[in-house]
């Protein structure tokens, strides 16, 4: 074999970017995969919504206490992990 025999086989330059041959060279904006759905107007949304029940003061207090308790528990867990 000749020492320069393999140099005659030059690599073909592909029109792709990156390691995958299917990746196109043009770097344009990506097209969405699904068509955009029409949005309902805000009036239609307001009509579809069911009216919420008003919570009593006791229920609101319970919800706030639960939130505070959860926050303190997480704070204790973080402190225990720190050492």
Q: Is residue 45 part of a domain?
A: no
How do the pLDDT tens digits run along the chain, 83 residues long? 566 555 555 566 555 555 655 655 555 555 556 666 677 666 666 667 778 889 999 999 999 999 999 999 999 999 999 97
Tell me the residue range of the domain where 60 lies: 54-83
Q: Where are the alpha helices (DSSP H) in the chain?
A: 42-48, 57-82
Q: What is the DSSP string of 12-33?
A: PPPSB-SS-TTSBS---PPPPS
Task: Give the per-residue pLDDT at 51.
Answer: 83
**Is residue 47 situated within a structural domain?**
no
Nearest to 25, CA basis, from 14, 16, 35: 16
Residue 63 included in any domain: yes
Q: How many domains does the chain have?
A: 1
């Amino acid at each position: 074999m000749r020492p320069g025999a393999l140099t005659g086989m030059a690599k073909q330059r592909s029109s792709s970017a990156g390691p995958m041959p299917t990746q196109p060279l043009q770097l344009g904006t990506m097209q969405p995969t699904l068509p955009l759905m029409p949005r309902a107007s805000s009036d239609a949304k307001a009509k579809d919504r069911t009216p919420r029940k008003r919570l009593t003061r006791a229920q609101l207090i319970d919800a706030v206490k639960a939130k505070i308790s959860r926050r303190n528990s997480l704070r204790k867990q973080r402190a225990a992990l720190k050492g």
